[in-house]
Structure 1
C-alpha cells in the first residue's frame, strides 16, 4: 500500500516522497556520509535511459542513504516512471528492422500468400480462397502475428545515440508521505474544475486516508464532494450535503457507480446504518429548504430505484426524505425550476425568464446565447446583458471562462460546424444553424467577463513564464484531457521539434481476440484527404507503418514513422481503429503516444527518452483521435490536442471508411479558438505584476510565481509553482 501511495504522489507531482529508513535499513547515523552515492548515481543513469533524472537536491539526499535504502527506492521509482512513459511493457514490431525495409503492401501480402502455399497445413484452404477471388488475410499463418521474439527484434536494431532533443523530466525531492498525501488530497478535493476519471479514482483513495485531517475550504465540484462524503461516512463524520442530488451521488458512490450521474448505477442493497445516513441526509436538506424537492425531477428514475433500496416507509421520523421519493414517483407535486423556465422560453417571455434566472446565476449564464437570440428588441437584450453582468460575481470561474470562450467564437463569421464532446470523450459534429448574436451585445458581455476574471485573479509581484505554456488551453474540465505523461488539455497546441515523428499504440486484450489498427490520415489544408498510412497502405511519401498485429494475448504494439521534411500534407491525424474485439475500456491496457527523434537517431521502435507524451486510451467510441499535427505557414509543425473518440461501427473500422467524419471533427477543433494560458497572463495588471519569459537558463534568486510545462531546477523554495500537474490551479474560483 505504501508503494501505491508513493507512486500516486510521483505520478501527480513528479516528486519522490522523502526517502527514509531506520538505522537497521542503512540510513547514515554518525557513519560515513555518502554511502549510497554509487547507487544513487546508478539510479540517475537508469532514469536517464527512460527520459527522467534526479534533481541535484534529490540526488544529494539519496547519496546520504545506504546502498540498500537507495536500491529499495530505485526499484519503486523505476517501476513507476516506466509505467508513466509506457516502458513497462515490451514493444515489438511486426517488421523486425522497422522503419527500415518496410515492403510495399501488395508485395508483403504476396509474400504471405506464398508462405501459406508453401505450408501444408494452410495450402488447401488458401487455394480455395484464391479460386473464389476473395482472400482472408487473417487466415494466412504469417499474417498479423509476430514472426520473431522481442529479443530478436532488439538484436536487429541499432543502439539509440543520445541527442540534445531527448526528453528529460526532472524528479524533485518531496516531503514525507503524510504531508504529500495531504497536499494532494486538498488540491484534488478542492479543485474548481471537474477531475478526470483517473484523478477521481485517486481522490477516492486519498479521501479514505485523509478524511480526518485538514479539509479544503470548499469542495465546489459535486462529484468530488460525493467521493469525500463516502469517506466521511465511513468514519462517522458530518456529511457535506446541500441538495438532494448530493445524496443521490453519495448513494452512487456507495454502490460503486457513476457519481457524475451520466451512466446509470445499479444500487446495491445497503446495510441499515448506511440507509439511515442517506435518509437522514435527504430529510435534513428538504427540511431546511422544501424547494429543493424540485431538484428530484432531473433524476427521477435513479431516485425511484434508490427508494426501492432505502425503504423510507420504515423510517417515519424522516418524513421529508419520504417526500423525495413521492415526488420521484409522481405522487407529490414539486414544480421544478426547469419546467417554469421552459414555459417562459416557449412563450418567448425573455424578461420573465431573466427575472427567474436571477436566482440561478449559473443557469443564466448557460442560457445566455438562447436569450439573446430570442429577444424581441434591444430592451430585452439590454435586460439580458444587465442581469448577466450583475450575476457574474456569483458564477463559478470555469463557467465564466467557458461562456467567455463561447462568445469569442460566436463573434466569428464562419460556416464551421459545431462539435460536442461528452464526459467520456465521445464527439459528434453538427452544422451550426444558430442565428448570429448582435455584435454590440456580445462585445459588452465579453468586456464584462474579462473584467470579472481580472478581478478574481491573484496579483503576484513577479511571474516567471515558460513561453511554451502560453498556447496550452485552460483546463476548464479534467475530462478534456487523458491520464498520462506530457498530455495537454483539448485544444492546446505545442511545438514539434524533431525530424522524425513516430507514434505508437499498445494494447493487451483481456479475454477475447482484439485487433487495434494504428493509422494516420494525411490531409490537405482544406481538410481533404491526401493519403493515409495503415495496414492497407504500409508506405507513403515520407512514412512507414510497422505492420499489422491482429491479436494481443500478451500485448501488441504498432508504430507509424514519418519524416516530417518529406511530408507534403498540412495535417497528420493519427487514429486508433478497433477492427475487432474489446473496446478501449474493456481491454486490460491500452495507450497511445508519440516520439520525436533527430534525423540520424536510430534505436528501437520504442525509445522511452524520445517519447514526448503517452496517454491512456479509455473512451467509449471505436475510433480514437488523441491529437493531430499541423504544419504552419512558417513550415514548422505543431501538435493540436484532440482527446476525442468517434462512435465508429461495431467491427472493421478503417481509415478508408472514416476519413470524412474524422476530417470534420479535426476541422471543428482546429478552427475553434480556445482560451489559452496567454489569455489569463494578458489580464494580469501591468502596474503590479511583472511578467518575465524564462529563457531556459538562469533563474532568479528570489521567490516567483512560475508557470510552465515542467518545474525547472533551482527555483527559490518559496516560489509558487504551476505546471501541467496542477494547471487547474490557474482557474479562479
Structure 2
C-alpha cells in the first residue's frame, strides 16, 4: 500500500488522504502540518492551502506518519534520498588544474614508500594512483566546508495538492495510463501492472497493445474474458504472465501454464486466428514455437485455428503477410497495387505515405487513398505523420532514428524532395482530420510556457521523473549557474561513470569539453572523478552561463567501466540552477529543475542539450538519447562526432508541439460549461471540474 501511495504522490503530485480520522481540538495536528510543510520546503516542495487545511484537521500522529511517507516520496523524486558527496571538498571552488592535480597525486605516491614501491614508471597508470577515484573526506566534512544555501524566490517550489482516497487516486492514475494513446515507458508499464492488480475497474478503451496485455494478465488470473483482437495480443499476454517483455523486444522464457490458463489462451487465440491474421505469426516465429511447447495445442482439438498459428510458426503452413505482399509490389514498381493492398490497413498506409508519394507515377491516387485512410487511423499515427511531413518542408542536417530504448543513430538524408502541392494537400488532410477528433475544450486556458513542449507521441524512451518533458521540448533556463549531476550505486562489480560536457559553436564544431581529463576552462568546473561506487557516488559540473564561450552545451554520462545503466542498483541524472550568491552544498534539492533515472542498453547517455538563444538567454531541449558506445573506456573525446550529429538532428527538427493542438482546440472552443487548462503546473483558482493537462498527463491530449 505504501508503494501505491508513493506512486500516486510522485506521478500526480497529490497526497491521498480521503477519509483519514479528524484530530482532537488540541491543535497538535496543525503544528505537525506546519512542521511537515517546513520540511517539504527544504527540498523544494510545499503543501497547497487545501492540503495544509486538511492535514491540520487530522490527529497529530496521523500527520507525522503520513508526513514521513510523503517526504520520502518527494526526496526520492528530486534525488535527495542519497548523500551527494564530491571528490573535491570545496567544489566548485579550488578545483585544481588537471596537470596540477595529476602531478600532486604522483608526488604523494612517490613520497609514500609503500605506494612508491607499487609505482612502475615504465607502465604508469595514473588512474591507479593511491587516492584517485575515491572520496578523501566524509560527507560531514563536505557539509562543514560549505555555507548554507541562501533561499531565493527563484528556487523551485513544487506544490503538492490535496488528493482524495488512495483508491480514487489510484483509479484515476490507472485509467490515465491504461487508456493512453501512446506507448508507455518501461517504468510506466511497471506502474500499470501494480495498479491493475489493485483497481477493480478498467477503462472502456485500451488502445495500446502493451497496456492491454498487462490488463489481460489480471483478467486471465480472475478467469474473465480476454481483450484480444490479433494473434500477437495473445503472445504479449503469455510473455507478461511469464514475467517477460510485453513489448516483444526481448525474448521471454515462458513458464508452465496451468490447464485453465492454457485453455483460456488457446480459446482466445482460436477466436482471432483468421487466415488473414496468420501473416503476423512469422514476425515472432521463434517466440510462437517456444510458446507452443508450453500450451500443448494438440491436446485441444476444438481449437483448430489456434493450432494453425503454431503450424505457421513451424513452417508447415504458409501465410504471407500483408507487409510481405506490399514489399513485393513496391520492389517490382507496382505502386498502385501496393496502395490497394495498404487500404486494408489504414495505419500502415499512412506510415508509408512518404515512400508512396516518392515512388508513385501520380500522387493523386495515393493522396485519395490517404484521405480515405485518415478517418480510420489512430490519432497518434496522424500526429506522427503530421510531424514527419512538416519536416520535409526544409532540408535536414540528417535523419535520426531512435528505438524504444532511446538508442539513437543518424544518417545523411538522401531522400528526394516531395512535390509541394502533394505535401500541402497531405498536411491539409491531416489537419482537418485531427481537428475533427479534438473535443470541444469549452473555455481554453493555455500557459504560454507550455506551448513549446513537444507532444508525447511516444513515451518509451522518456523515464518518469521530476520536471521531465518529451523529446524535442524546449523550455527556458533561469539562473546564473547551471550544475549537472549524476549519481550511481554499483550492484555487483566496480562501476565507473563519468559525467562530461561537450561544448560546440554555432556550426556544431570548435569542440571544448569538461571531464576527468580536463577539470576546468574559463566558465566550467568539474567536481572530480570517482571510479567506484560501492556505497554510491556523485559527480557534478558547474557552469557560469554568462561567461560561456560556446552556445551549445551537451551534458553526457559515459560508462567507463562496469555495470550498464540498467544493471546498476541506482543511476540518475539531473540539473540544478541557482544564483551565484546562493552558496550551498554541491547538491541542493530545492534548486533541482530536472531529475530522472538513467536506463537503457547504450553506454553513453545524452539526456538534453543547452542552447543560447538569439536574445542571449539560455534554453534547454530534451533529447532522451543513448549511444551504443564501447563496452568500456567511453570518453567524451571519443564520441564527439556522433554526439554532435545526433544532437544537431534533434535541435533542427521541427517537433509537433502543444502549440499546434492548442491552436486547433482554440478554433473549436465555445462558452460551454467546462474549462480546459494546459500548462506546466495547475494554478490555484481553476473552476470546479476543470480538465487539467500538465506534463504528466499531456498524453491525454492525443485524440483517439
Give TM class, smaller chain.
over 0.9
User: Does structure 1 residue 135 correspond to structure 2 residue 128?
Assistant: no
Which has the higher mean CA deviation after the structures are superposed, 477-486 or 173-182?
477-486
Number of the residue aligned with 2:389: 407
Residue 36 of structure 1 aligns to a residue in which SS? helix
Note closer, same or farther for the CA distance 1:72–1:687 as it changes in structure 2 (3 Å cut): closer
Over residues 119-150 of structure 1, what are the superposed CA-to-partner deviations in whole Å (9 max), with x where a residue is unaligned?
22211222x22xx1x43122211111000001
Number of the residue aligned with 1:712: 683
Which has the higher mean CA deviation after the structures are superposed, 674-683 or 703-712?
703-712
1:311 CA displacement: 1.4
Number of the residue aligned with 2:602: 621
Number of the residue aligned with 1:274: 261
Number of the residue aligned with 1:313: 298
User: Does structure 1 residue 721 correspond to structure 2 residue 702?
Assistant: no
User: Does structure 1 residue 386 correspond to structure 2 residue 368?
Assistant: yes
| Ranges in structure 2 where 5+ consecutive residues have no aligned partner | none
**Residue of structure 2 aligned with 1:245, choices 224, 228, 232:** 232
- Distance in 2 separating the partners of 1:619 and 1:711: 32
Note closer, same or farther for the CA distance 1:316–1:59 as it changes in structure 2 (3 Å cut): same
1:688 CA displacement: 3.6
Residue 629 of structure 2 aligns to a residue in which SS? coil
Residue 38 of structure 2 aligns to a residue in which SS? helix
User: Does structure 1 residue 300 correspond to structure 2 residue 285?
Assistant: yes
TM-score by length of 2: 0.98
Residues 44 and 54 in structure 1, CA contact (< 8 A), matched pair in contact too: yes
User: Does structure 1 residue 235 correspond to structure 2 residue 206?
Assistant: no
Number of the residue aligned with 2:408: 427
Number of the residue aligned with 1:15: 14
Equivalent residue pairs, number: 704
Residues 444 and 669 in structure 2, CA contact (< 8 A), matched pair in contact too: no
Residue 224 of structure 2 aligns to a residue in which SS? coil
- Distance in 1 separating the partners of 2:670 and 2:410: 41
Over residues 425-468 of structure 1, what are the superposed CA-to-partner deviations in whole Å (9 max), with x where a residue is unaligned?
10011111111111110110001101111111112221121111
1:530 CA displacement: 3.1
Which has the higher mean CA deviation after the structures are superposed, 547-556 or 678-687?
678-687
**Residue of structure 2 aligned with 1:342, choices 309, 327, 330:** 327
Residues 33 and 64 in structure 1, CA contact (< 8 A), matched pair in contact too: no
- Distance in 2 separating the partners of 1:106 and 1:712: 52
Aligned pairs for 1:447-458 (under 5 A) are: 447-458=428-439
Residue 299 of structure 1 aligns to a residue in which SS? helix
Residues 624 and 646 in structure 1, CA contact (< 8 A), matched pair in contact too: yes
**Residue of structure 1 aligned with 2:581, choices 600, 609, 613:** 600
- Distance in 2 separating the partners of 1:314 and 1:214: 34
Residues 680 and 695 in structure 2, CA contact (< 8 A), matched pair in contact too: yes
User: Does structure 1 residue 104 correspond to structure 2 residue 97?
Assistant: yes
Residues 14 and 160 in structure 2, CA contact (< 8 A), matched pair in contact too: yes
Aligned pairs for 1:59-98 (under 5 A) are: 59-98=52-91
User: What's the Cα RMSD here?
Assistant: 1.4
Which has the higher mean CA deviation after the structures are superposed, 704-713 or 544-553?
704-713
Residue 372 of structure 2 aligns to a residue in which SS? helix
User: Does structure 1 residue 669 correspond to structure 2 residue 650?
Assistant: yes
User: Does structure 1 residue 630 correspond to structure 2 residue 615?
Assistant: no
**Residue of structure 1 aligned with 2:442, choices 431, 451, 461:** 461
1:284 CA displacement: 1.7
Residues 34 and 65 in structure 1, CA contact (< 8 A), matched pair in contact too: no
1:19 CA displacement: 5.5
Residue 130 of structure 2 aligns to a residue in which SS? coil
Note closer, same or farther for the CA distance 1:611–1:680 as it changes in structure 2 (3 Å cut): same
Note closer, same or farther for the CA distance 1:687–1:292 as it changes in structure 2 (3 Å cut): closer
TM-score by length of 1: 0.94
1:657 CA displacement: 0.9
Number of the residue aligned with 1:166: 155
1:477 CA displacement: 0.8
User: Does structure 1 residue 552 correspond to structure 2 residue 533?
Assistant: yes
User: Does structure 1 residue 256 correspond to structure 2 residue 243?
Assistant: yes
- Distance in 2 separating the partners of 1:562 and 1:413: 34
User: Does structure 1 residue 655 correspond to structure 2 residue 636?
Assistant: yes
1:214 CA displacement: 2.6
Number of the residue aligned with 1:612: 593
Number of the residue aligned with 1:515: 496
1:703 CA displacement: 5.4
Residues 573 and 597 in structure 2, CA contact (< 8 A), matched pair in contact too: yes
Residue 715 of structure 1 aligns to a residue in which SS? coil
Residue 517 of structure 1 aligns to a residue in which SS? strand
Number of the residue aligned with 1:177: 166
- Distance in 1 separating the partners of 2:238 and 2:635: 41
